[in-house]
Amino acid sequence: MTVQHVIIIGSGPAGYTAAIYLGRAGLRPTLVTGALAPGGQLVNTTEVENFPGFPEGILGPDLMEAMRAQAERFGTEFIHEDVVSVELVDGNGDGAGAAGTVKRVTLDSGDVLEAHAVIVATGSQYRKLGVPGEEEYAGRGVSYCATCDGFFFKGKPIVVVGGGDSAFEEALYLTRFGSSVTLIHRRDAFRASAIMVERARANEKLTLLTNTVVTGIRGGEAAPSGVAAAQPTVKPLSLNLGGLSLGGGLNLPAAPARAGSVTSVDIRNTVTGDTGTLDTAAVFVAIGHTPATAFLGDIVAKDDDGYVLVEGAGTRTSAPGVFAAGDCVDRTYRQAISAAGMGCRAALDAQHYLESL
């Protein structure tokens, strides 16, 4: 079998950018796109307004198609499958070569590829609430990224679900846009750091609603089955707030809903069992992400949540010749442009590695 220079796993902004750089360097990379979601997360969104170079914005699928075409122009070959495992093998295949100098990549069809370097750019999947209405209103009020979508909810009431640092960061950020932000958390204590909770408590626009779960998401015309029609106003609840003040947060004005967009959430107190409805134009789900790195097994070091660990600001993993970029590494920024930037770094790191062999 021919041992290739480099195989890239994943076809989001990180993977395509790595492919563009490696292709222009004459290394003819092979890019395994993933079987289900070629183009990555942006294929599931509509308008992208913060990727530089598009003053009027660009549709997510169009942006990813342009990246794919650019990678193809410089000689990238695409394989539309999933990678199921990566092994570090002996370079000679006879037990005499250096262990790990060749990376053996197995696809879900059973086909096997080999390369001297591998770039892992498999992204992450956001965790979902799993409640009625979540799928129906995804992109129409249900969002998993405040940085991406907060701007669309200027002057409207917003709900954030979650209790960790990310949820608090998102909630605080969203107070710049929303008329009010209600952070809903299922327990009475938060996983978030004390300083974040203090900041949230000090913010007049932000209400913390504890011991509460969202049980359904309702919308305008396209009300999901099994969920009753939207209520115009908030039903008062007798909730155990753990000493937190609701302030005026629950007396939100009804959102001027677009047809088929989110208008309210159903909520239930986990202690008393009381139920109610809270008007909102948006639900930001911030209950965590799962990096798509299980297929790597233990060939590279990962953190407890499965994010691949890299050296400093570079993209080198614990396995020489294996590099990682984008949302499968980055639990902080999670943006298309930051993933693309890291894809560039991975390509340059891989080039240097190949030159050193």
Which residues are the active-site residues?
145, 148-149
CB of 218 to ligand FAD, least distance (A): 20
Q: Helices then strands (H, E): number in the chain?
A: 6, 19
CB of 304 to ligand FAD, least distance (A): 20
Instruction: Quote helix, strand, coil % in the chain, to nearest 5.
Output: 25, 25, 50
> What residues contact residue 111 under an 8 Å CB cut-off, 6+ apart?
81
**Burial (CB count within 10 angstroms: exposed 0-12, middle 13-18, buried 19+), residue 315:** buried
Q: Name the residue nearer to ligand FAD (CB basis): 85 or 175.
A: 85
As given in the structure block, the two tokens for residue 153 are: 């909810």
| Contact (CB, 8 A) for 334 and 310 | no
- Residues 33 and 80: their CA atoms lie apart, in Å, by 5
Q: Which backbone phi and psi does 5 adopt, to 5 degrees?
A: -65, -55
As given in the structure block, the two tokens for residue 73 are: 């122009």
CB of 244 to ligand FAD, least distance (A): 30
CB of 234 to ligand FAD, least distance (A): 27
CB of 96 to ligand FAD, least distance (A): 31
- Residues 226 and 210: their CA atoms lie apart, in Å, by 25
| Contact (CB, 8 A) for 151 and 177 | yes
- DSSP for 130-177, please give it: --TTTTTTBTTTEES-HHHHGGGGTTSEEEEE--SHHHHHHHHHHTTT
Using CB under 6 A, list all residues that contact ligand FAD.
Answer: 9-15, 32-34, 37-42, 44-45, 48, 50-51, 82-83, 121-123, 144-145, 148, 292, 295, 326-327, 334-337, 339
As given in the structure block, the two tokens for residue 151 are: 């701007």
